[in-house]
Amino acid sequence: MKKVAIYGTGAFGYAILKHLDNKHDSSFQLSAYDHHPGTTEHLREKRSHPIFHKDTIISHRPEFFDTPEELVANADIIVLAVPSRATTEVTRLISENAPNNVTIVNIAKALDKATGKRLSEIVEQAAGDFPYHYAQLSGGTIASDLFHHEPLGIDIASEDESTRETLKQLFTSSNLTVMTTDDVRGVEYASALKNVISILAGIVKGLGFSYGSETHIISTTADYVGTICVEKLGAKPETFSIGSQCWGNDMWMSCTGNTRNRAFGELLGSGKPVSEALEEMHQGHKLVEGVNTLQVLDQLPEFKEVETIKCTARSHR
Amino acid sequence: MKKVAIYGTGAFGYAILKHLDNKHDSSFQLSAYDHHPGTTEHLREKRSHPIFHKDTIISHRPEFFDTPEELVANADIIVLAVPSRATTEVTRLISENAPNNVTIVNIAKALDKATGKRLSEIVEQAAGDFPYHYAQLSGGTIASDLFHHEPLGIDIASEDESTRETLKQLFTSSNLTVMTTDDVRGVEYASALKNVISILAGIVKGLGFSYGSETHIISTTADYVGTICVEKLGAKPETFSIGSQCWGNDMWMSCTGNTRNRAFGELLGSGKPVSEALEEMHQGHKLVEGVNTLQVLDQLPEFKEVETIKCTARSHR
């Protein structure tokens, strides 16, 4: 029986835990840990989360550990559901406490805030000689949709075929379609960069342009960004296709749905300065992931020459 | 000076006329014809349209003809802005009255209702020995967006390079980006089939699924339809890419914007029978183009084996 450890029970980590718990699948055993002791305690005793989807009850099956060392000690698969800034620290802990050849599944959609590196590179650096398998899980899955058993799609990327197959079987359910690819690098760029395009879409909306203008600018920018990723950053073309769950699906979800990045862009487009718009989002306890990615694009020379999207029509009205 | 003739001043034909009139470009001369004599008269005398965007005034430059024979007699470029069912009749008239080697630009996004053929095939059949150049204009441009000078994008497809260049120069403006391709067949399929996916998106919404489910189902269906068009119908892959204006742009506009096909699908999804849903749309004077395309898909063997999209999650709620 495989042991699956969820490292972090924030909104999305908890949604993954609940998704796997719902499968009532006896071929794996679930466990979880949260760095807030109160959250762990609540999950263990009340079988519900103190903050997210409070009315949802989880079964008696998942085990909750008080320390991360206990969580990872016997794990076969670790789902990394921590903020991207904690990646190095958590990887070090895993490399010191988990069994050799454990599978690490990252679900953060970001580039490293300090260096612009992909998170798989940060994990590799922090893991040193420790042997592990790595996968990235990305797609058009917001936590609340997972909770409501909406039909959704994700991509799982890993260079190792048996890791892909194991994870596909683990996550697939009647409502979740899992596609697999070996293009880890491409999926990482796609997941992080669609958030930046989502901010742009919000700006276009905030400036007062029509929905047809939004879709025109999203499609041409996505084409442009995808081309840079494929031609200069070594990603595979299919990762940047319309049917790609981490790109074609998630980008349109992020760009035209009710998302934080788009909302932030709309504030900018309507004339708010960046600091004020960020403040307004933070007051609503909303982190805008795309802003961090936008900031580190400067560290990627491939994006230095990106042309500004010109909305010249406005001056002709 | 090139003579540009707009054949039909319905909502979109009139929007094209106004778009070209706005360019104040003395390198071409504009003329138009409508089969309602009252419309032609109104346009000529009042310099405005009796039905569409009544407050818009057009310049004194465009000439309005009382007969289609006069319109096409000296034309260099004819913009075919008639319902697709009139294609054969109008092409015959053109072949009998227009100069040899005239350029025909079709703007209808449909397959022939009786045979499932592409409209370029219908034109070819009807033209007989008459020599002409052909182009298809498609993209995410609804008439009202064109009137409001929104930044928009279109594809112009023609097998003939000089026709592509001439038309790109003709239609490009500060707000309209024109991309060109030689994949006429691909652009025709893309323009017609995105309407069918738009109906599907509406059904998913009408059934009560989340926006994340919609984007998942749109992206996977688009991928599937695009693959059939490329692998079985001879279209080019780039025509079915995210950056393609007749596909990546127009499909998302049609699928997630405020469009007739989506609205019709929503009625179906909410439980209305097809006849009732069509009746409701017709009462609002709204033609649902995608229904015709859906009906003729049966005539395309390549689509006969399309699997039904299964929304199995619902039964697990």
Dig out the tokens for A268 from the structure: 């900018």
User: Does B243 sit within 8 Å of A241, measured CB to CB?
Assistant: no
Nearest by CB: A242 against B177, B226, B316: B226
What is the rounded CA–CA span in Å between residue B155 and residue B246? 6
Nearest chain B Cα distance for residue A153, angstroms: 6
pLDDT digits 0-9 by tens, B219-237: 999 999 999 999 999 999 9
**Residue A300: what pLDDT?**
82
Q: For residue A210, which residues of chain B lie inside 8 Å, CB to CB?
A: 144-145, 148, 150
Assign B2 a pLDDT band (cuts: 50, 70, 90): very high
Task: Tell me the mean pLDDT in the region B159-170.
Answer: 98
pTM for the full predicted model: 0.92
Residue of B nearest to A220 (CA): B243
**Residue A313: what pLDDT?**
31
Residues listed for chain B = 317
Nearest chain A Cα distance for residue B140, angstroms: 6
Q: For residue A174, which residues of chain B lie inside 8 Å, CB to CB?
A: 312-313, 316
CA angle at B122 for the pair B119 and B125, rounded to the nearest 5°: 150
Nearest chain A Cα distance for residue B93, angstroms: 35
**Residue B317: what pLDDT?**
26
Amino acid, single-letter form, for residue B137? L
CB burial readout B288-308, b (16+ within 10 A) else e: bbbbbbbebbeebeebeeeee
pLDDT digits 0-9 by tens, A18-65: 999 999 999 999 999 999 999 999 999 999 999 999 999 999 999 999
Nearest by CB: B223 against A149, A151, A243: A243
Most confident of A2-11, A283-292, B296-305: A2-11
- Mean residue pLDDT of chain A comes to 92
User: Does A216 sit within 8 Å of B177, measured CB to CB?
Assistant: yes
Assign B310 a pLDDT band (cuts: 50, 70, 90): very low
% of chain A surpassing 90 pLDDT: 85
Nearest by CB: B312 against A174, A215, A223: A174
What is the rounded CA–CA span in Å between residue B265 and residue B263? 5
Sequence-distant (6+) residues with CB within 8 A of A279 are: none
**Residue A307: what pLDDT?**
52
**Residue A288: what pLDDT?**
84
- Mean residue pLDDT of chain B comes to 92
Assign A287 a pLDDT band (cuts: 50, 70, 90): confident
Distances (CA, A) of B213 to A91, A142, A144, A150, B306: 33, 10, 12, 6, 20
**Residue B314: what pLDDT?**
31
What is the rounded CA–CA span in Å between residue B311 and residue A17? 23
Cα torsion A225, A228, A233, A238 to 10°: value is 70
Q: For residue A211, which residues of chain B lie inside 8 Å, CB to CB?
A: 253, 257-258
**Residue A315: what pLDDT?**
30
Find the helix packing angle between B289-296 and B184-206, rounded to 10°.
Answer: 110
Tell me, letter by letter, the H, E, C secondary structure of chain B: CEEEEEECCCHHHHHHHHHHHHCCCCCEEEEEECCCHHHHHHHHHHCCCCCCCCCCCCCCCCEECCCHHHHHHCCCEEEECCCHHHHHHHHHHHHHHCCCCEEEEECCCCECCCCCCEHHHHHHHHHCCCCEEEEEEEECCCHHHHHCCCCEEEEEECCCHHHHHHHHHHHCCCCEEEEEECCHHHHHHHHHHHHHHHHHHHHHHHCCCCHHHHHHHHHHHHHHHHHHHHHHCCCCHHHHCCCCHHHHHHHHHHHHCCCHHHHHHHHHHCCCCHHHHHHHHHHCCCCCHHHHHHHHHHHCHHHCCCCCCCCHHHHHC
Q: For residue A144, which residues of chain B lie inside 8 Å, CB to CB?
A: 210
**Residue A141: what pLDDT?**
87
Nearest chain B Cα distance for residue A178, angstroms: 11
User: Does B213 sit within 8 Å of A223, measured CB to CB?
Assistant: no
What is the rounded CA–CA span in Å between residue A69 and residue A11? 22
% of chain A surpassing 70 pLDDT: 96
pLDDT digits 0-9 by tens, A64-106: 999 999 999 999 999 999 999 999 999 999 999 999 999 999 9
Q: For residue A150, which residues of chain B lie inside 8 Å, CB to CB?
A: 209-210, 212-213, 313
Residue with the bigger pLDDT between A147 and A316: it is A147
What is the rounded CA–CA span in Å between residue B303 and residue A17? 39
**ipTM for the assembly:** 0.92
* Alpha-carbon Rg for chain B in angstroms: 20
**Residue B299: what pLDDT?**
81
* Whether the predicted pLDDT of B22 surpasses 70: yes
The closest of A218, A263, A212, A259 to B258, measured between CA atoms, is: A212
Q: Which pairing describes strands A132-139 and A152-157: parallel, antiparallel, or unpaired?
A: antiparallel
**Residue B51: what pLDDT?**
93
Distances (CA, A) of B197 to A97, A140, B200: 50, 19, 5
User: Does B148 sit within 8 Å of A210, measured CB to CB?
Assistant: yes
Q: Are B52 and B11 in contact (CB under 8 A)?
A: yes
User: Does B313 sit within 8 Å of A175, measured CB to CB?
Assistant: yes
Task: Tell me the mean pLDDT in the region B83-89.
Answer: 94
Rounded to whole angstroms, the maximal C-alpha distance in chain B is 66
Element (H, E) at A218: helix A211-232
% of chain B surpassing 70 pLDDT: 96
Nearest by CB: B219 against A148, A209, A249: A249
* Whether the predicted pLDDT of B311 surpasses 60: no
CA angle at B36 for the pair B32 and B40, rounded to the nearest 5°: 40
Q: Rounded to 5 degrees, what are φ and ψ at B46?
A: -90, -15
Name residue B155's beta-bridge partners: B138, B179
